[in-house]
Structure formats: structure tokens, C-alpha cells
A and B are shown apart, each in its own frame.
Chain A
Amino acid sequence: MTPSSVEELSDVVASCNRSGERIAIEGGNTLAGMGVPVRAPYAHLRTASLTAVVEDAPTDLVVAAQGGITLRNLATQLAAHGTHIPFDAPLAHQATLGGTLAAGWLGPRRHLYGRPRDYVIGSVAVLADGTIARAGGMVVKNVSGYDMSRLYVGAFGTLGIIAQANMKTTALPPHARIFIAPLPEGTRRRALASVVSLRIAPAAAFWVEGFHQSIDGEDGHEGRLIVLLEGSAALLERSTRDLRSALGRAGVPETQILDTGAREAFGRIVDAYVSCLGERSVTYRISAHGQSLVDRVLAARLLADRFELRADTLADAMNDDIILRVSDLDSHALGAKIAMFDDAFHDDEPGATVVAGAHPQRASLNVWGELPDAFDRMRALKARFDPNGTLNPGRFIGGI
């Protein structure tokens, strides 16, 4: 089913809901590795034909587009006006607006530009019973009842399908520059601490170990630091000086600077968040808030080592996020260890979620981590919005 209008989407959903048929909602399939597959049997519903830009108002710095538009197409249209929305979602040529929002994607520049949810100003959602529900509007401030639009963000389509999202936009930073530096063990803590406390906050800063096929730079066994600076030419000049001297003080050797292709290099880092090695890998995401980022990365790597799994790690220093990809030589070798590793890892990191992995055992892992405190209310909300369990049943936390 690939409806080409919101009305058609509503008809399709309502009819499935009446007949007891379950629906698996599919956008660009880029974040399909998050959560659990929908409980079979189900009908596939693709948003691929809902790709219109409904209202482009560059002078108001807002845009409304249908859920199936790809992030790249939306970005291209916005870039023509010198604006953007910092989604920082992987595989932007394939990822959709609705899917990225529904998956609650959080990217590495959010500490500076805010979360995708902070850009949502309105929505059209199709609920399980076919209701076409509008919320918010095209204005940047709006306190008129409950903020339904944000409620659909991160709900994985289980409350309603995001048929249209109205978004704020913001001016594209005029310049971008990437720093890549090897990060010898003795420099790590000081270097990361000084990058995080720079007066002009970098747009992103990572400590990467591995991911060699996908992310620039060489690190041997010690890892590398990758920092993205964005802003005006004047600001970049100063932040480059500040960053250089901070890294120098931390003992970081020679740095490599990338101006041309900086955005593409950043895009490759974001893609790596969900990169899979076929059925040979599983990728976790943990938030290290309030704890030492370095200690938690090292603990995760040590644990992988204990299970004789290869670990690639990507630590986002600005947001205290860690991406851990564990892999083995083949799918069988991974399958023999992954369940035990998953248990042991969650003992250390109860909040760890799985974000990618094509291994058949992925669905039996603890992909969502521990349930949130308000889970009972979330289940009640699902029951009130979708009592028949029509939309993406089983896909979300706790079997929602």
C-alpha cells in the first residue's frame, strides 16, 4: 500500500483498522534497525508517495512537507533559500521526514541547534481509526491545547502516522571545517575535556575508534578525535585558533584540517551511527549523561573484548552519547555470543538501545533497554489512540 494523499492514507488505515489487519509503516527504512520488527502478519504501508512540500515559506523560516519526503530532497529545497533543519540523520538520501521524526532521531549537533522535535511547529497525523488530526500550525509560537505534534515524534508510528510535519528552519551556517587528529591514550581525557569546554562550542566532537571503512582518519589502536566547527568566517578563524591551542596543551600531535568536503565527512560520521556489517554486527547506543564518557567507552570496549567481539566506538563528546558496534567474523560467530553479551552489557548500561544490526537474533535482544518510569501511562496512551493495535504493533518499547 503506497497511498498518494493524506485522504487515501486515512482510508487505507481506517479500513485495515476495521478489518483487524495490522500495518507496518515504512519510510526510508534507514532506522529499521531500531526497536523490534512489527508482529506478523501485517500489511506494508509505504509513505513513499507522500513527498510533497505542502507549504514553503522561506521568508517566514518555516516549511511544511509530507512525511514521505526524503531529508535530502527537503534539504536541497531549503538550501536554495540558505536555510536548513539540523536533523543529522543517517542516509539522508533515503531517510524520510516522517520516519526520522517518528524514530525520534537525535543527532550530534543537537547540543548547539536543538533536537528535531524543537523544530516541529505543527503536524497532520493519521490515527488508527483514520482520523486526520491536525495540531499546531505554521507559526513559531503556539500555545493552543496539547502539543500533539511532539507526541508523535519518537512514537514510532504507534500513536499515529506523521502524514505531514510543519517545521521551523534556520539559516545554514555559512562555513564548516573539520579537524581530524590522532588521539594517543595519554591525551584523551584532557583533549576531550578541553574541546567540550571551549568558549565557542564546536558543532560536533567525536572520539572515534574503528569504523575505518566509513569514517575519515587513521587511528591505529589509539583512536582519533574529529571536531566539526561551524559558523561565520570570523568565528571559524577564532575557534580554529582556540581549538588548536587547546589540543596543543592536551598534547595532541598534528591535526589535519578539512574545509572542502567537511559537510560530506560529517555526513559519513552520522551514517556510521547505523552502519551494519551485514549480519555480522549489532550497534548499540547509550547515553552517558553525568558519567565519564571515556570510562564508559573503555568499559564497553573491555566487555566486547571479553566476549571476543570486535568493537567500533563513536563517542559524541558534546552530547555524551556513545555508539558501540560489536561484530565478529561471521553471523554464526556473532550469534553464539551476542545474547550473553547483550545481558552483560545491559547490566552495565541498563539504558542501552539497539540502533542497527541485521542479525536474525537482533529482535530477541533487549533492544530498548530498561522501560521508562511512565511506561504504564504510555501503554494507556497507546490503548486510547490505537485500541486494536493496528499501527506498528510490537514495534515500540514494552511490546507497544
Chain B
Amino acid sequence: MLVSRLLDAVGADAVKFAPEDLSVYAFDGYTQGRAPSAVVLPRSAADVSAVVKIAREFGEPIVPRGAGTGLCGGAVPIEGGIVISFARMNRILELDVRGRRARVQPGLVNLDLSTRVAAHDLFFAPDPSSQKVSTIGGNIGTNAGGPHCLQYGTTVNHVLGLEIVDSFGEVFTTTLDGAGYDLTAALVGSEGTLGIVTSAWVRLQRLPESVRVWVAAFPSIDAASEAVSAIVAAGIIPTALEMMDRVIAQAVEAAFHAGYPTDAGAILLIENAGFEDDMRACEEGLYRIVHANGALSWHTARSQSERDALWAGRKGAAGAVGRLAQNYYLQDVCVPRSKLPQALRAVEAAAREHRLIVGNVFHAGDGNLHPMILYDKRDPLQVAGVIETGNAILSSAVALGGTVSGEHGIGYEKREAMTQIYSTGDLATMARVRDVFDPTLMFNPEKIFPSGARCPEVRA
């Protein structure tokens, strides 16, 4: 049977199959799926390959899993099957300081990578708010972003090559060096549906010489978002440009005492990293624009500890919201940056219609909205309102020329929304890639593609 074959292949300590151990793997940060039949914790690509071959023999789907911090069900088994958890494959395999690159295992925690290369004056740029726990493999799966990808770009810009186990258990590598199709780009963001990453070459950045963090307070979300649009329109791309509304700023202050003004309608947290010589011009440009857009106050963080506190508040915002409501639903959409004011008005209107409170904390510089809709899941009326509000936000983002996921991915939650931005032909084109890598849909089934999208006319 399946479990004994897995035990033979990877050893007793690498397989979980007791029901009480499996149930936690039915969840991610938000979604509930089904408990898998087994969880395997491989130590090598060879282990992963062996598991994939066994799964194929038994017709079991495979769901790769990092830290399970996703919010769209990407790492959640929908049809059961085998979960491959990368908790034990968390090492840095090679570090090339001169070439500023490292080969890492997929289970390495994002922040651990930056911490461990800091002594060489290097860091890994993608920094999702989950970075204290989320893994490089998971970041690759969702092409994760984070506040600092405003300047550095999302994960795909930082992956130089991959080692992959395909759905037949064969190991292959991809690279950005040399000629050939850019399979690395196809695999990053494919949410585990094309192949399983067993190691990755990632690009590292040199730590900046100088860092400034500023906080600007505005009377309203509207004024703050107009300021963001004006900053981008002026060609100023700071390293990070984050917005928080009053709901979030108050929650964060109560939880962390980060140093945010709590009486403003919205605040911008702005960071610029680079050279000391450019800081003054950058600050002057920002200062002029925020004041032209009605800023109430402008504050420069004076020390590293103050900067750290401001960032800790931002990255802990989701947790702090737990103080405000029993539950929250976090939406993730992205709009053209000049459409931010309209997009935020649409969020507000949708929530008001359902008498729900929304907190906004997001990557404003990228136009990447993260409205958090507060509710109590014991109240079915509120639950229904949350779903409708979430859908309305999604549709209004699309209507403004935006997309249904900026950085969290499609997973299971958003797959039906794919039809809002793509035609049947567009989706069929993506499905051709799936056909090549995973023709039997064994890897992470029921993800990304809308249900029914695999019917013959869609396969073209």
C-alpha cells in the first residue's frame, strides 16, 4: 500500500500518516481543504523523485508545501493525496559572494537567507510580510512580492535557475544563462502545478549604504493615494511605499507601539535605500509632493531602532488586526498606480454597502491593494457580506484595468476569477504549458485553472 511504499522509499521518520498529524495539512493561512493521505518530509531531490514516482503509480495527487502561509489555498490539498513538506530541506547549499548568488533548498525560510548572508553585506530582496516563516520554495511558487519589490521587483527577478522534479519523477535544471526557453520564468509563480522545486539559484543584493524611513500622515485615504500616484508620476521610485489607513494604524499602535500617528485618515510609510548622496534630493521630492497633496505631518525616523519598529508594525499589521475583529478576510488585487484613489473608493463603497469595516494596509507604490474585511464568522449574514464585498473589490479592480492577484497567487480561492481577466483562449494557452510538464494533472490539481477549464474545447 501507499504508506508502506513511502516508508520504504524515504524512511520512517520522513512520513506522517496518523490522522491527527495529517489534519493540520488541510489548511493554509486562510483556506480549508482536505487532509492528505500522507505527508512526506524529504531530505533531497532523490527523495522527492521517489515520492513522485510512487504517487504516479498509485494515482495520488501531490501538493508541495512550504510554511503554509498562503492565503489562497495554493498549498492545500483539494483532492487529498500526498503533501510534500519542505521543512527539512532548509539549507543554503552554495554561496557565491563575488557573484552575489546562492543555491538554496526550497524549505529555507526567507528571512533566514537574508540573515545568514548579511555578514557578506548581502540580502535577498523579496520580503513578503510572512518572511519570518514563509519559505523560498513557497515564495517561488507564488512569485511572492513584499514591500521592497517596488524597487527590486518580485521573486521572478531574483531566481536565476531551478532544480525541478517533474511529474514523472525526473530531475532537471533550468538556468537564465545560455540559450533556450525561459523555463525558470514559467515555473516561478506556477504554484506547484508544473514541477517541484528542489533547489534554486537566487540573486542576492548588496546591502544599501544608506537607508531612510519617513512617515507622512494624511487627512484621508483619498489624499494619501493621490500623493502616491503623484510620487510615481514624478518618476520617484523609493524602495518601499506603503499605505495604512486609520483602522490599521490604530490596531498596530495598540499592538506594537510602532510609532504611527493614530489620528490621521491614512499614513504613508516610505523607505529609500541607496546612496547618501541621493537622499536629500529624494527627501525633498517626496516632501514637496506629499505636502502638495495635503499631508498633515512628515516625520523622518532618526535611528535604526525607530526604522525597525516602523517596519515591524507594518509587517505585523495582519496580526494586529486580530484585536479588532474575530476574523478578517484579506483581499489581494493590483491596479494601475494612477487608479489607486478610485480603487480605494470602490473598496470603501463595497464595504459600506454590507456594513462591514475594512482596514487597508498595502503596497501603494505598486498599486497592490490588500483590503482586510473585518467580520465575525459566527454571523452568517456577515460572512455572506464578506464574500460579496471581496468579489466586488475584485471586479472593480479588473474594471480599473487591474488584476485579480498582485502577489498572493490564484490557488484554489481565486481560480474562478481567472475568467474575469483572461479569455478561454488565453487560459488554453497556459494549459498547453501544463500539458507539457504535468499532462495528467498530478501536481496540485484544482489550482489556478477555473473548474471545467480542462474540457476539450478549452484545451484547443
Contacts and interface: CB of A to CB of B under 8 A. Distances in A.
Contact of A373 (B172, B338, B435): B172
Contacts of A231: 278
Contact of B367 (A131, A139, A199, A290): A139
Interface string B162-205: 00001000001111111111110110111000100000000000
B304 interface: no
Contacts of A170: 235, 237
B423 A232 contact: no
Interface stretch (A45-53, A144-152, A248-256, A294-302): A144-152
B436 A151 contact: no
Interface stretch (B20-28, B58-66, B405-413): B405-413
A29 interface: no
Interface string A118-134: 10000001010101111
Interface residues of A, number: 73
Contacts of A269: none
Contact of A135 (B156, B363, B426, B432): B426
A138 B173 CA distance: 31
B326 interface: no
A141 B149 contact: yes
Contact of A142 (B153, B278, B334, B363): B334
A140 B366 contact: yes
Interface residues of B, number: 79
Nearest to A127: B429
Interface stretch (B1-9, B76-84, B315-323, B396-404): B396-404
A397 B426 contact: no
Interface stretch (A57-65, A304-312, A330-338): A57-65
A160 to B, nearest CB: 8
A341 B335 CA distance: 54
Nearest to A236: B277
Nearest to A103: B179
Contacts of B444: none
A58 B179 CA distance: 33
A8 B406 CA distance: 33
B405 A369 contact: no
A234 B278 contact: yes
B410 A133 contact: no
B186 A141 contact: no
A139 B335 contact: yes
Interface string A25-54: 000000000010000000000000000000
Interface string B383-406: 000000000000000000111111
Contact of A131 (B233, B409, B429): B429
B437 interface: yes
B334 A372 contact: no
B237 A171 contact: yes
B180 A351 contact: no
Interface of A, secondary structure class, is: loop
B156 to A, nearest CB: 7
A60 B179 contact: no
A235 B275 contact: yes
Contacts of A199: 209
B157 A114 contact: yes
Interface stretch (A206-214, A356-364, A379-387): A379-387
Interface in B226-260: 229, 232-233, 235-237
Given A139-B334, A171-B237, A144 B403 contact: yes
B110 interface: no
A347 to B, nearest CB: 17
A151 B185 contact: yes
B410 A381 contact: no
Contacts of A369: 178-179
B401 A372 contact: no
A118 B407 CA distance: 16
A147 B185 contact: yes
Given A238-B277, A380-B436, A138 B336 contact: yes
A287 B177 contact: yes
Nearest to A397: B179
B175 A377 contact: no
A150, A154, A353, A374: most-surrounded residue (chain B CB, <10 A)? A374
B99 interface: yes
Given A141-B366, A148-B433, A378-B180, 10 more contacts: A59-B338, A60-B367, A115-B176, A142-B403, A144-B421, A146-B194, A155-B181, A171-B237, A372-B178, A378-B181
11 contacts: A60-B367, A104-B179, A118-B157, A137-B421, A139-B403, A141-B334, A141-B368, A147-B186, A150-B185, A372-B179, A374-B174
Interface of B: 96, 99, 142-143, 145, 149, 153-154, 156-157, 166, 172-183, 185-186, 188-190, 194, 209, 229, 232-233, 235-237, 275, 277-278, 280-281, 334-338, 363, 366-368, 401-410, 418, 421-423, 425-430, 432-437, 448-449, 460
